[in-house]
Structures are given as structure tokens and as C-alpha cells.
Homo-oligomer: A and B are copies of this chain.
């Protein structure tokens, strides 16, 4: 059968005794036309194009509690509108509540995907903005932001920027507040960016946290941009993928958007429920238009297994989607001694993102940023961090502080 006009969903269903073929048929019919066998012949002819199809059922027998099937169902595109809420509600709305079932993947049709311009910049566009094409990027996160005034925030920003990082992002928990309101914050930080540029000679993107009420998001984004913001951080899952898609496709929001995985841990970690990280933080973020997607690294305290990490990366980079590739940003627990491992796992198209690994440097945040840049240089030059550290004090001290991890 030709599934060109269908969007496919793959589920993993755990059940110790279910007839998975029957279950699959129940999904295909129940989530589309509702009933089939009882329909009169004439009605069937009319309904055929709306009927879901069972693409495959792969049963994995095993101990009772670990018996599962991977089931792929094809949903006719004609049944739903070209937006992510419609796709998700169709494929996993009611079904999400039907036992031990996890949505592993979605393969939207070419027609569905054509409705999504995707990342406005993508990883290549972000590289173009920075003029950096030959190495991984380095991103730094504020150490702490709540309770700080503009002068304090500006100084933190400046120190990070002086270290030569490419990207600085707001903390995702920094909301509109009297101490550092959106536009004043952007102006202060971009001013610090310009100051740092005179020393470092390099460009920098500042991802301001985009917050507030849903229907004010576009206006807030445009306010931030008018104040000089050249990037936006967005807690996508708190607002839904469609909000991201609409922000990303707005021609006036002409800066890259970094998707924060906030709340994702409510959805991806369970074996039996939710959605896979690759779908949630990879494919859907990219389709919806994230230029960068942050997710928990496999190295730090907030952990995602490495196989899942690499699946997220693959979803962000694979050429099989029409949308531009998005930068993977494995986050949490990153220090300079991890850089060789990160580049080994993720390749050159990755953002090395650190908070404590920058600010915790014994010589301060600027030295922390430099240590990361030096670590990246070392890997590029095929030199060990220890060796490179002999000529580069910041890297040497970072290694003394955090060590080097090779696996």
C-alpha cells in the first residue's frame, strides 16, 4: 500500500497477553472513522479514504511484564489540519491514556511537513550569523539571574562574553520582573556584548527568555528584537509546539530560537508512557522551527542515556526531513574536560553548553569560557587536553578542577 497521503505513528505497547494485531486494528479504526465492520458497503466506499491503516505490528515476546509490540499506524492526512496539535491529538490524544503505550515516532507525510518552514536559520544559519563554520560552538548560561539587578546581570554577561563564547542564554526561569525587565535586560546585555566584542573580536548571540501569556508571545518577541535581542530562548513545552511553529514562521521574528526542554521530563523518561526524547526534543522541535534544541546530556547530573541522546541528535540533523537541521545542545554537567567526548559523540555540529563549567572556573567566568574554547581547539588540532593545557593556563586549571573524561 502507498502511504504517501498518510502520516505514520509508531507506538510501543506493553501488554502481557493482548492480541496486538487486534489492538492495532482497533487503533487504526477507532482513531479515524470510529467503526468499520458494521458499516454498510456504500458507506465504506465513502469512508475508505478516512480509514486508518495498520502498517506493521512487531511483537516482542518476553517475560510477562516486558512483552511488547511496536505498532505503526497510518493516519490519513485528510483527517486532520496541518498543525502539530491536530497531529498529536489524532495520533496520541485519547490513545495516550489507553494502557502502557509510548509514542516512539511520528513520520508526518511530505504534505504535512510542507506546511512547516522549520528553523529560520538552522545550524548553518546560526553559523553564518556568527561567522563560525569550522568548529563546534560554545554556549554559556548565566550562573544565577533571579534577584540580580541590571548592573549585576550586565557584569555576569560581560564576563561570560569576554571568555569568547559564541552564545549566551538566559536562565529559563527568568521571567518578566521589575529588576531586569525584558527590554532593559536586552539592552544591557547587548551593550556588554558590544563591549566584549572589542576585546574578543567575535560576534555573540544572546538568547533572551521569551515568556508571558500565550497571546502576547509574538509581541514580546518583537519587543525583545526591537531592543536588540539577536536570539530567543523559549520554553516550548509550556506553550505547545504550535506556539513555537508560529513564532518561527513569523517573518518579523528574524532571530534564531533556542528551544528549552523545560517540562520534558514529565513526558520522555518513562518506559511505558509519554513520547520518546527523539520525537519530543528532536523531530518535533525541528519541524516546529527550533534553531537549537537543548536536552539533558548523558554526562551530567540531569541524565539521559547516551543512546537516547544520539537519537535526539540524529532527529535534529538527519537530511531526511525537509526542514533545516537544528543544532543539538546537550546540556547539564558540562565542563571543559568533557569536550573531547562530546565531540566524539556528537561530531562537529554541536553546541557545547555550560553553566557551572564556565562560572565555576577558579579564575572566573571569562577564564571558564576561554578554557572551553581552548578545549575545542585542542580537539580540532588533534592534541590531548593535557598537552594543550601546557600552553593554555585556563584549560590547565579547568582540567585540574574537573579532570578529563574519556568515556
Contact = CB atoms under 8 A, between A and B. Distances in A.
Interface of A: 31-35, 46-47, 49-50, 78-81, 83-86, 88-90, 92-99, 101, 103, 143-147, 171-173, 175-177, 211-215, 218, 235, 238-240, 242-243, 245-246, 260-267, 269-270, 272-275, 296, 301-304
Interface of A is mostly: loop
Contacts of A33: 144, 146-147
A263 B215 contact: no
Contacts of A214: 85, 214, 239-240, 242-243, 246
Contacts of A243: 214-215, 239-240
A146 B171 CA distance: 44
A86 B272 CA distance: 28
Contacts of A85: 211, 214, 235, 238-239
Contacts of A146: 32-34, 50, 79
Nearest to A75: B173
A95 B80 CA distance: 34
A273 to B, nearest CB: 5
Given A79-B173, A214-B243, 4 more contacts: A34-B171, A80-B175, A83-B211, A266-B273
B147 A50 contact: yes
Contact of A266 (B49, B176, B275): B275
Contact of A265 (B218, B264, B273): B273
Contacts of A93: 172-173, 235, 238, 260, 262-263
Contacts of A274: 266-267, 270, 273-274
A192 to B, nearest CB: 19
8 contacts: A34-B143, A85-B235, A88-B263, A96-B262, A101-B265, A214-B246, A239-B242, A266-B267
A93 B35 CA distance: 40
Contacts of A101: 265
B83 A212 contact: yes
B211 A172 contact: no
- Most-contacted residue by chain B among A263, A275, A303 (CB, 10 A): A263
A173 B78 CA distance: 12
- Most-contacted residue by chain B among A81, A89, A245, A304 (CB, 10 A): A89
Contacts of A296: 97
A94 B265 CA distance: 8
Contact of A81 (B78, B96, B211, B260): B211
A369 to B, nearest CB: 18
Contact of A246 (B32, B81, B95, B215): B215
A66 to B, nearest CB: 16
Given A32-B146, A214-B214, A273-B274, A265 B95 contact: yes
A175 B81 CA distance: 6
A88 B90 CA distance: 26
A238 B144 CA distance: 31
A80 B173 contact: yes
- Most-contacted residue by chain B among A80, A93, A266, A267 (CB, 10 A): A266
A269 B172 CA distance: 27
Contacts of A90: 173, 175
Given A34-B143, A147-B50, A235-B89, A96 B242 contact: no
